[in-house]
Structure 1
Amino acid sequence: MKRIVLLGLVCFALFGCGEKKVTEEMLVGDWECTRTRQKADWENGLFQDYSTPVNQGKVPIVYTKENHNLFVKLHFSDRKVKVDFKTLNEEFSINSDDRKMTRYNKLEYISDDEFKSTSEISMTFADSQYNRKIKTLMHCTRIK
């Protein structure tokens, strides 16, 4: 009997405590997101450390799901925009002869009613005066 109970506890520890992640279903609903932005300047052939975060205020966001498609509606438009959920958690690069662009997005689960989103984009050009690196952080809480 003790072995069965011990085996049950081990199984619960291994399978019942998995790391929670942000899912499409979790995103559906109304959110209030606090947004901050940082930039890194280009000096001596390298991006420097990010500047102090600049608070850009609170932004209402609405996610809906229709016909197995995820849509987002931002505060400045009545239009719903289709979102590929995979792009909210990926790294993407484009290279050409005179430029390189890298984009990194990550969703971080906090609770069923709270998540963080990090988006970072860097652009480097043959003419380095146009090089840019920007990080946007959003901390979102479900509106009930």
Structure 2
Amino acid sequence: MRKLMLLGLFGFLQAGCSEEKITKDFLNGEWICNQKVFKKSDLEANYEEPIKTERQKRIFKFDGDDLYSYSSKTGEKEYLIKIDAINDDSPQVENTEDEKITTISKFKKDNSEQWTWIHEVIHFSKTLDLSDSKEKYETVCTRIK
């Protein structure tokens, strides 16, 4: 009996500790988003103070598997990401003739009314014409009721 209780407790803890996936239904709608932008030219340095902080009302909608963000002021449409990539935080690497670009995006559902998106882009120059740099966007969005 004791082993059965411990097994049940272990199963409960495992289920409770897993991160909840973000779905299309969750993201669709109107949100207030606070974004901080960080930039560095030294790839080894830690980010310090944000160079820009912005608060915007955004509307998120899916067209098929593609997530778009709309400005509530201008209606301007911006492609963000595919639904499959939202729950996959593995780095994406693009190599060009002049640079290697690594992009890391992590979405996290904070609770039923809020989510966080950390998006980092690292530029590694292959030539002397370009300099290395990295930038990070921290966005926290809260649902408008």
For Structure 1 versus Structure 2, the TM-score category normalised by the shorter chain is 0.7 to 0.9
TM-score by length of 1: 0.76
Query: Aligned-pair distance for 1:28?
Result: 1.0
The CA distance in 2 between the partners of 1:70 and 1:98, in whole Å, is 29
Unaligned runs of 5+ in 1: none
In the alignment, which residue of structure 1 is the partner of 2:82?
84
Q: Which has the higher strand share?
A: 1
In the alignment, which residue of structure 1 is the partner of 2:95?
95
**5 Å matches for 1:64-75?**
64-65=61-62, 70-75=67-72
When the two structures are aligned, how many residues end up with a matched partner? 139
Aligned-residue RMSD, C-alpha: 2.9
Identity %: 21
The superposition leaves residues 64-98 of structure 1 with CA deviations (integer Å, 9 ceiling, x where unpaired) of 24566543213464244454123344421112343
The CA distance in 2 between the partners of 1:23 and 1:30, in whole Å, is 15
Query: Aligned-pair distance for 1:14?
Result: 5.7
In the alignment, which residue of structure 1 is the partner of 2:12?
13
Of 55, 59, 63, which residue of structure 2 is paired with 1:58?
A: 55
Aligned-partner SS, 1:26: helix
Unaligned runs of 5+ in 2: none
Contact persistence 2:106–2:118 (CA under 8 A): yes
TM-score by length of 2: 0.75
Contact persistence 2:122–2:134 (CA under 8 A): yes
